[in-house]
C-alpha cells in the first residue's frame, strides 16, 4: 500500500513561510505531479513528505500512520533527486545495493534484486562502472534503480528529468510512466514543466507561493482552471488573459480564452486586431494578434493559414470555452 495524507502541513524558516498549510490525499498507485513555478514550494513539500525537512506544524500520514516525526529511512519511501545524487565512490552495483545493505538484507537476496533491477533498467552491462563513467540518462536510471530495489511504498521524484537533454527527456518520461504501471506504486513527481505534468499525471497538484491552488486530473485542470494563476500556468501556448473593458463586457475582471478556442472571422467578432507575428508549426499556426485595448492575443489557426503580419482580423470567442475570473483571480461560476 502507499497512501499519503497531508493535514494542514506547514513549513516556515524563521519568519519566511514556505508552505502556509497544505491538505492533500494521495491514493495508492496514483501518479501525482506537483507543478508550479520555481520557488513555489513544491520541492519543499516533497522533502517534507520524505522527512528531509522537519514540519513546522501539521501531520503527514503514510498508510494511515502518522510519520511526522519518523526519520526518512523509516518512512518506507524512496527518492530520486534532480542531481541524481549517486554515490561517486561506489560502483553502479553498490549504488543500487546500498539501501538493501543498510537494511541488513542477506547478500544472495541483494544480488538477486540488483540483477533484476539492472535488467529492468537496461543497466546490466554497467554494473561494475562508477557513476562518472556513465552518461546522464544512465545515471538517471541508476538513481531510479536505487529507488526501485527497495520496493518502497511510494516514489518521490524531484525534477528527475531536468538535467537531461530534450530528446532523452521524452524517452525517460515514457520509461518512468511504464515503470509506474509495472510497479503499481504510488509516485509523487515534482516538476516546473507543465508539459511533463500534463502528460504523466493521474492527478496534478498546482502550487503557487506554497499554497495548493488546484488539484485535479490534467484535463480537469486544463479545462476548468479555478484561478487566473492555474489558467496561465497550464497550457502551451498560454491561455489569453484579458482585462479591461472587454472583460467587463463579459462581467469579469479577467477573461481567459485558450488560443484554440478563438475563431478567426471575416468580420463582426468579439474583438478586432491586426496580426503581428505568425508561428508555423506545420500542424498548426499560432498568430499573435494585437487587439489594442484587449492586448496581444494568441490564436491557433490551421497549419496552412496564409495571413501575414499587418493583416486585419476579427476574432470570435467560443462562448462555451471562456473562463471568467473575479478581482481575486478566482473563477466565476
Question: Residues 141 to 170: which contact other proteins by CB under 8 A?
Answer: 146, 150
CB of 234 to other proteins, least distance (A): 29
Q: Which is nearer to other proteins, 150 or 192 (by Cβ)?
A: 150
Backbone angles phi, psi at 137, to 5 degrees: -65, -40
Concatenated DSSP letters of 144-179: HHHHHTT--SEEEEESTTTTS-HHHHHHHHHHHHHH
Question: What would the grid cell of residue 187 be?
Answer: 509516485
CB of 158 to other proteins, least distance (A): 9
Map residues 83-122 to x or -, x wherever contact with other proteins holds by CB under 8 A: x-xxxxx--------xx--xx-------------------
Please, what sign has the CA dihedral across residues 223, 226, 228, 232?
A: negative
Q: Which stretch binds other proteins (CB under 8 A): 26-34, 78-86, 213-221, 233-241?
A: 78-86
Question: What would the grid cell of residue 2 be?
Answer: 502507499
CB burial string 42-58: b at 16+ within 10 A, e below: bbbbbbbbbbebebbeb
Q: Which is nearer to other proteins, 49 or 297 (by Cβ)?
A: 49
Question: What would the grid cell of residue 47 be?
Answer: 522533502
Q: Which is nearer to other proteins, 42 or 261 (by Cβ)?
A: 42
Backbone angles phi, psi at 171, to 5 degrees: -60, -50
Backbone angles phi, psi at 22, to 5 degrees: -120, 135
Count residues near other proteins (CB under 8 A): 23
Beta carbons within 8 Å of 193's beta carbon, 6+ residues apart = 35, 161, 162
Question: Residues 279 to 308: which contact other proteins by CB under 8 A?
Answer: none
CB of 99 to other proteins, least distance (A): 4
CB of 72 to other proteins, least distance (A): 5
CB of 331 to other proteins, least distance (A): 38
For position 201 contacting other proteins by CB under 8 A, the verdict is: no
Sites of contact with other proteins (CB under 8 A) = 50, 52, 71-74, 77-79, 81-83, 85-89, 98-99, 102-103, 146, 150
Amino acid at each position: 500500500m502507499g497512501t499519503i495524507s497531508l493535514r494542514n502541513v506547514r513549513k516556515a524558516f524563521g519568519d519566511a513561510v514556505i508552505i502556509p498549510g497544505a491538505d492533500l490525499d494521495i491514493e495508492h498507485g496514483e501518479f501525482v505531479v506537483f507543478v508550479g513555478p520555481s520557488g513555489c514550494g513544491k520541492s519543499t513539500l516533497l522533502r517534507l513528505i520524505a522527512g528531509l525537512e522537519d514540519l513546522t506544524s501539521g501531520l503527514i500520514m503514510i498508510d494511515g500512520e502518522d510519520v511526522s516525526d519518523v526519520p526518512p529511512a523509516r518512512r518506507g519511501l524512496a527518492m530520486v533527486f534532480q542531481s541524481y545524487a549517486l554515490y561517486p565512490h561506489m560502483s553502479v552495483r553498490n549504488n543500487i545495493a546500498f539501501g538493501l545493505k543498510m537494511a541488513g538484507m542477506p547478500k544472495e537476496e541483494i544480488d538477486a534484486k540488483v540483477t533484476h533491477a539492472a535488467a529492468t533498467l537496461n543497466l546490466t552491462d554497467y554494473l561494475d562502472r562508477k557513476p562518472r563513467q556513465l552518461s546522464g540518462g544512465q545515471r538517471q536510471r541508476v538513481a531510479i534503480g536505487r529507488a526501485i530495489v527497495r520496493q518502497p511504498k511510494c516514489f518521490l521524484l524531484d525534477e528527475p528529468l531536468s538535467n537531461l537533454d530534450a530528446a532523452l527527456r521524452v524517452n525517460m518520461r515514457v520509461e518512468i510512466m511504464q515503470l509506474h504501471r509495472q510497479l503499481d506504486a504510488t509516485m509523487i513527481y515534482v516538476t516546473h514543466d507543465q508539459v511533463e505534468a500534463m502528460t504523466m499525471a493521474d492527478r496534478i497538484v498546482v502550487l503557487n507561493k506554497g499554497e495548493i491552488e488546484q488539484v485535479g486530473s490534467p484535463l480537469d485542470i486544463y479545462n476548468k482552471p479555478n484561478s487566473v494563476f492555474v489558467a496561465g500556468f497550464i497550457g502551451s501556448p498560454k491561455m489569453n488573459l484579458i482585462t479591461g473593458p472587454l472583460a467587463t463586457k463579459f462581467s469579469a475582471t479577467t477573461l481567459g480564452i485558450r488560443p484554440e478556442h478563438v475563431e478567426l472571422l471575416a468580420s463582426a467578432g468579439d474583438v478586432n486586431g491586426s496580426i503581428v507575428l505568425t508561428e508555423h508549426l506545420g500542424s498548426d499556426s499560432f498568430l499573435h494578434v494585437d487587439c489594442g485595448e484587449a492586448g496581444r492575443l494568441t490564436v491557433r489557426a490551421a497549419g496552412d493559414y496564409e495571413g501575414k503580419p499587418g493583416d486585419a482580423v476579427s476574432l470570435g470567442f467560443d462562448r462555451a470555452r471562456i473562463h471568467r475570473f473575479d478581482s481575486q483571480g478566482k473563477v466565476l461560476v
